[in-house]
Structure 1
């Protein structure tokens, strides 16, 4: 582990940054290899000993599991009828086969002690290499029984036992204690530099010590290989870090890092040059404080709070004022970097100047606004010209409607006037004949009466046809005048519809098209009669031109009703109908499906504009191909202010 780490290190589930382990690591000198006392880990409730090497800037740590000591102690204690306890240097119990001992034992505990209801002989022995204490609890009753059995042979037993102990001590000193001491001394000066410990005879000629040294050398070889691998990786890492530092330092983009509180921890050369700020003076300063000079402290605070709480990257634009009081714009990106516990470790920031881009965008917006105003001016002029042309076309369409009326009236008035001319000619001929007979004296009373009867018949024919001509002229005059006078009037709707139908009779009288008008005889409306005439004329002509083929037959129904102040006109035919895509466009100016036959495409557009504009109403069209078309018109007849 790197010794500059300022947080707890988890190694195989054990925390190396706290408690006795941390204290043990602090005792190591640079270049020293040392083994720790036995330590109980609170994380896993296990016993371990650590072997650590202190390098220049790191520790190399190995953990030795001593959990099997519990089993060994239990086996020995059970076989010998004693209790075995191992404590730390401070007196804390690490492992024990006794259930009566407290968790902490005084360092000077020895001799006769009472635990619970029994008296024990306490034997304490220091474990020299590890520094822990081993405590043996021998029940006093067991020792008493041994003494009773020995009786008078006790002195002989003591002498023999003493000789035995001396021999064992010499044996252990020669084969175990001294080799272990030498082994420890060698370990204390071993530097882990690839050298191995040798089994020097005769000191290490025991099988156990040779095995210990062989195992140690094998582990040393593995550790050296691991160190070589770490060294290679460390070298590669240092090279990459150097390249990374050179890259960050020399790029033209501003790069910096912030700690978890928003304070600057590092900046690159571009930060100093572009922002004209000294590196040493910037370190440790808060970004919020810097933003306060630009009046954007709250915005920066909220952005940093978002990164800190959400752990998500954020990008935003920032306006700053440089030392020359020039406004500059930057695009800032903050990237959170987390530690192994999921907390915010630091924030990596990049800052790209976009002042030129912002100024260019502003210039483009000004150009766009100027061009937009010019274009709007051109469009307004074109719209005005188009509106004038459309108005002219609508007036022409109205005149064409009036032309239909004139043509119809002319056609209808020809018959009564022709009959009148013929009757007048006959009357003139009969008058001449009567005068001749009167002058020659050949006129008789019978002849005179016959002549008078012919005059009466001819006069009746003249009166009837001239009255019909007068009615037609009156109807034409009333419709023509009302089409050009846009004033509100109250009139009889049924009579007005009949007059419009009469004016258009020449358009349908030779076709198998019948009309069904459903309108109360006494229904009156207060509206614009000219508008109603134009609507009916255009709908009738549209149906005659589009709904039926030449020679086709059908029925057109016109229904008029009134509910309170709302008038409703329903115009429907049983002709060819229209598909949905045509219905969507029928009110568009100049849209027609009969342009080849002279259609202008303005008829229904004029109807729509009159209904929605002049009458302030609404019009709805529904059509089913091969079934027919239906127009529903509604408008208010309330008195307008």
Structure 2
């Protein structure tokens, strides 16, 4: 048996006492013979081991992850409280038990298979993912690593397993994937909607041009109709006099003079109407002409401006155009016309509130060897810093209550920077008008996304 004794110095000794009874001839015990050993060092070593194991258990119990150690027979010799809690037991309850005692048959078989791989390969498996059910029947997902512990001879003595619960991370990844898909779908829908609105804005701008040109064409056509009606009446009167035989020289001279004047007015006004219609036809055709082709920038600018002039009169505006001759380009005439039209309509709508008079200037000139410069400016009310910063943003408008879509200048920016391969700069101050500089390459990029 073992017991403690206190020395005179106060130190405690552990003693191990073993004795055997010595019997006489009659079988009676007459004395005891035995040994008394000092096992203090042994006890201290055992206490140190126990304390180390207790400390190790405390440490691993603080880790929010699965930690366990098994022997070569795949029985648990150590398990932390986190893992024991998964199975609804105390860590000490797991000692000496196998995975089959704690897990489902499927989970135990997978775990034992990986433990045996460690014994066979004599090295760790590296991190891998694994699933098994807890005591509540919930499927748990884990990031696992298994490592061998070697004895003094280099043989595998233990297998250490560490596993992190990655279920929350997996759910987060799944939610992120769903959120990403939803965001991509929303962005795709937004782009489709934006494209539809931009196309609608283009058609609306074209419609405003049609209305303006129709109004302008009505003037020469109306005059021509009035002149033709008057000439018809004069001709009827002249014919009646001829049929009655009452034709006089004065009547003939008067009829000839009236006919000359009427013919001159008809030719002049009908030519004016034809020019307007031809100009509009060219602009409309160019808008639908998406292919790249050669054209004279000055001529095209004049054609576009001619279709814009009908909108000037009712707005009390003056439009000045200055084009450098012989500026040949290989680009997209339709989108260029759309740019000028949108800039003009934007200026008319925003730069001159309350019907105030004003001037719009367009200058077209060469800029270096390979570029052209278009300056579009007005002497209108100008823009504040906030408006200027957001002027080209889609759907930004200062006239939402009056039906503005906020796409006019965005379309300009999109066409210039994408289809035409250029750049633009906006300069404006409140009360000082607005100036937009556009730099375009004389040869547009071949592969640019449509606006």
Q: TM-score, normalised by structure 2?
A: 0.64
CA contact (8 A) 1:408 1:504 kept: yes
Quote the Cα distance in structure 1 between the aligned partners of 2:431 and 2:249.
70
- CA gap of 1:248–1:421, structure 2 versus 1, over 3 A, is same
Q: Indicate yes or no: 2:59 matched with 1:253.
A: yes
Equivalent residues in 2 for 1:145-544 (5 A)?
249=55, 252-254=58-60, 273-274=78-79, 321=147, 328-329=161-162, 355=163, 358-360=164-166, 363-544=167-348
Structure 2: runs of 5+ lacking an equivalent: 1-7, 12-47, 62-76, 81-90, 92-121, 127-143, 150-156, 447-451
CA contact (8 A) 2:420 2:445 kept: no
Which residue in 2 is equivalent to 1:605?
Answer: 410
- CA gap of 1:406–1:327, structure 2 versus 1, over 3 A, is farther
Shift, 1:394, TM fit: 1.4
Quote the Cα distance in structure 1 between the aligned partners of 2:168 and 2:423.
44
CA contact (8 A) 1:547 1:573 kept: yes
Shift, 1:383, TM fit: 2.8
Shift, 1:254, TM fit: 4.6
CA contact (8 A) 1:484 1:530 kept: yes
Deviations 1:228-266 (A, max 9, x none): xxxxxxxxxxxxxx9xx79974862159xxxxxxxxxxx
Shift, 1:464, TM fit: 0.9
Deviations 1:585-622 (A, max 9, x none): 22222111111111111111111111121112222223
Deviations 1:274-321 (A, max 9, x none): 499xxxxxxxxxxxxxxx96599xxxxxxxxxxxxxxxxxxxxx9652
Deviations 1:515-546 (A, max 9, x none): 33232133332211111111111111111211
Which residue in 2 is equivalent to 1:122?
Answer: none
Quote the Cα distance in structure 2 between the aligned partners of 1:253 and 1:440.
133
Larger relative contact order, structure 1 or 2 (CA cutoff 8 Å, min sep 6): 2
Equivalent residues in 2 for 1:82-121 (5 A)?
none
SS at match of 2:396: coil
Which residue in 1 is equivalent to 2:427?
Answer: 622
Shift, 1:327, TM fit: 7.0
**Stretch deviating more after TM superposition (374-383 or 540-549):** 374-383
Deviations 1:552-571 (A, max 9, x none): 23332222222212222222
CA contact (8 A) 1:590 1:602 kept: yes
Quote the Cα distance in structure 2 between the aligned partners of 1:370 and 1:438.
98
Which residue in 2 is equivalent to 1:550?
Answer: 354
Which residue in 2 is equivalent to 1:580?
Answer: 385
Shift, 1:326, TM fit: 7.0
Deviations 1:363-418 (A, max 9, x none): 33333333333333333333333222222211111111111211111011111111
- CA gap of 1:327–1:248, structure 2 versus 1, over 3 A, is closer
Quote the Cα distance in structure 2 between the aligned partners of 1:319 and 1:480.
71
- CA gap of 1:640–1:620, structure 2 versus 1, over 3 A, is closer
Shift, 1:628, TM fit: 2.6
CA contact (8 A) 1:514 1:556 kept: yes
CA contact (8 A) 1:404 1:504 kept: no
CA contact (8 A) 1:585 1:591 kept: yes
Shift, 1:471, TM fit: 0.8
CA contact (8 A) 2:309 2:319 kept: no
Quote the Cα distance in structure 2 between the aligned partners of 1:386 and 1:527.
29
Q: Looking at CA atoms only, which structure, 1 or 2, has the larger radius of gyration?
A: 1
Could you list the structure 1 runs, at least 4 aligned residues long, displaced by more than 4 angstroms after superposition: 245-248, 292-296, 322-327
Quote the Cα distance in structure 1 between the aligned partners of 2:432 and 2:192.
38
Deviations 1:306-351 (A, max 9, x none): xxxxxxxxxxxx965267997744xxxxxxxxxxxxxxxxxxxxxx
Quote the Cα distance in structure 2 between the aligned partners of 1:584 and 1:590.
14
- CA gap of 1:393–1:478, structure 2 versus 1, over 3 A, is same
- CA gap of 1:327–1:434, structure 2 versus 1, over 3 A, is farther
CA contact (8 A) 2:224 2:269 kept: yes
Quote the Cα distance in structure 2 between the aligned partners of 1:387 and 1:399.
18
Quote the Cα distance in structure 2 between the aligned partners of 1:445 and 1:325.
136
- CA gap of 1:605–1:367, structure 2 versus 1, over 3 A, is same
Matched residue count:
324
Q: TM-score, normalised by structure 1?
A: 0.46
CA contact (8 A) 2:362 2:374 kept: yes
Which residue in 2 is equivalent to 1:336?
Answer: none
SS at match of 1:410: helix
Which residue in 2 is equivalent to 1:567?
Answer: 372
SS at match of 1:273: strand
